[in-house]
Amino acid sequence: MLIELSDDMPVTCADTILFRLSMLGITPVLAHPERHPEIARSPAVIESFVRHGGKLQITAPALLGEAGRRERRVCERLLRQGLVAVLATDAHGVEDAGCLGRALARATKWIGSAAEDLVSRIPAEILGLA
Ligand SMILES: [Fe+2]
């Protein structure tokens, strides 16, 4: 299930959501972690969520800096720390999906071929397709 924390929700809410959804056999995928003020200040605050099975999904425009330098830096830190499960388009229509290739190329520069897993293997596993 794709979830998002509003800025005023503490990151610990993600742990509570993870626990409750896990009881139902649902894996929460946290969208836009790079936007959350607590995570932006210290990406380590989301480690517990990831360690317990939650997934982080960053988006291509944020990674490419289209949402500002701060979000780009947070994306890079989350990627380099191995906390990201999914790199997504944030597309609200097929016409918005074109930046994924550029984002994948950038991510590959930072973390190597493991970036490919973020757009193929791991999303497929989350969807039960792999
Ligand atoms: Fe979005």
**pLDDT recorded at residue 91:** 86
Q: How far apart are CA 95 and CA 80, in angstroms?
A: 29
User: Ramachandran region of residue 25, left (φ > 0), alpha (ψ -120 to 50) or beta?
Assistant: left
Q: What is the CATH number of the domain that holds 87?
A: 3.20.20.140
Q: Could you tell me the distance, in angstroms and rounded to a whole number, from the CA of residue 25 to the centre of ligand 1?
A: 24
Q: Could you tell me the distance, in angstroms and rounded to a whole number, from the CA of residue 32 to the centre of ligand 1?
A: 7
Q: Could you tell me the distance, in angstroms and rounded to a whole number, from the CA of residue 19 to the centre of ligand 1?
A: 23
Q: What is the pTM of this model?
A: 0.94
Q: Could you tell me the distance, in angstroms and rounded to a whole number, from the CA of residue 90 to the centre of ligand 1?
A: 5
Could you list the residue range(s) of the whole structural domain that residue 49 is in? 2-126
Instruction: State pLDDT tens for residues 75-96.
Output: 999 999 999 999 999 888 777 7
The total domain count for the chain is 1
> How many beta carbons lie within 10 A of that of residue 73, not counting itself?
14
The contacts of residue 125 (CB under 8 Å, 6+ apart) are none
